[in-house]
Amino acid sequence: MPKNQNIELPLKLFIITLVAGLLLGGTYVLTKEPIAEQNRIAAEAARLEAFADATFEDIDAATLEEIQNTYDNVASVFSAFRDDTLSGYVVALTQKGYGGDITLTVGVDLEGIVTGVAVGSHQETAGLGAKAAEPEFRNRFVGKSTVKVVKGAGGDGEISALTGATITSKAVAGGVNEAIEIASALSQGE
């Protein structure tokens, strides 16, 4: 191999890598803000789905940190206000489902009653666990103060599991129960 090729080939590879890196970095810079804005809009929509007709304020950072020390799957907690009156809390958290992480946003009023559940990203099986994101399943939690997943018809405080998706059903119920615990503790501290 001639001496020029010993230098030429690594130099070409370096230039190709440099250009690819610059293009990738430029794409990141250009898309960072629009992606953050879309995530903010989606989070706001999930909060409104979980606690309709409310406005939201972040809870203070120290309280959030305290909650996250106990519940490491909690991403955020918001106070929910209706007519400038504290009406409850909205908890955004992640649970382990059958196919991976399930992001949930759960609204709970000051009496510890679920006002709504929004299911965000998930990797649950289509036609089975993915049904957890459908209103028919999510609405089963509304009006409950604690939930337990059962196979078959659910009674008071019980949620009938999705057929073929008990793990997913239990993951969502676990997240809802955690949100109820968090909101109830915050309500008692108010």
DSSP characters over 98-132: SSSEEEEEEEEETTS-EEEEEE-S--PPTTTGGGG
Tell me whether residue 51 is exposed, middle or buried, using C-beta atoms within 10 angstroms of its C-beta: 0 to 12, 13 to 18, 19 or more: buried
Q: What is the pLDDT of residue 116?
A: 95
pTM of the model: 0.79
Q: What is the pLDDT of residue 48?
A: 93
SS (H, E, C) 32-53: HHHHHHHHHHHHHHHHHHHCCC
- Contact status, residue 77 vs residue 182, Cβ threshold 8 Å: yes
Q: What is the pLDDT of residue 68?
A: 95
List 118's β-bridge partners, or say none: 105
pLDDT, tens digit (0-9, with 9 covering 90-100), for 62-92 = 999 999 999 999 999 999 999 999 999 999 9
Gyration radius of the chain over CA positions = 23
Is pLDDT of 5 > 70? no
Give the strand pairing for 55-58 and 148-150. Answer: unpaired
CA separation, residue 115 to residues 90, 144, 156 (Å): 9, 8, 16
Average pLDDT of the residues of the chain: 88
SS3 12: helix
Least confident window among 8-17, 44-53, 118-127, 133-142: 118-127
List 96's β-bridge partners, or say none: 101
CA distance 24 to 161: 44
Q: What is the pLDDT of residue 53?
A: 93
Q: Which two tokens stand for residue 115?
A: 């006002």
* Per-residue confidence band for 127, with pLDDT thresholds at 50, 70 and 90: confident
Which residue, chain included where needed, has tokens 């399930």?
A: 102
Amino acid at 150: V
Q: What is the pLDDT of residue 154?
A: 66
CA distance 62 to 66: 6
Q: What is the mean pLDDT of residues 34-51?
A: 88
Q: What is the pLDDT of residue 91?
A: 97
**Exposure on the CB side of residue 83, measured as CA atoms within 13 A:** 0
Q: What is the pLDDT of residue 130?
A: 82
Closest CA relative to residue 44, chosen from 76, 86, 72: 76
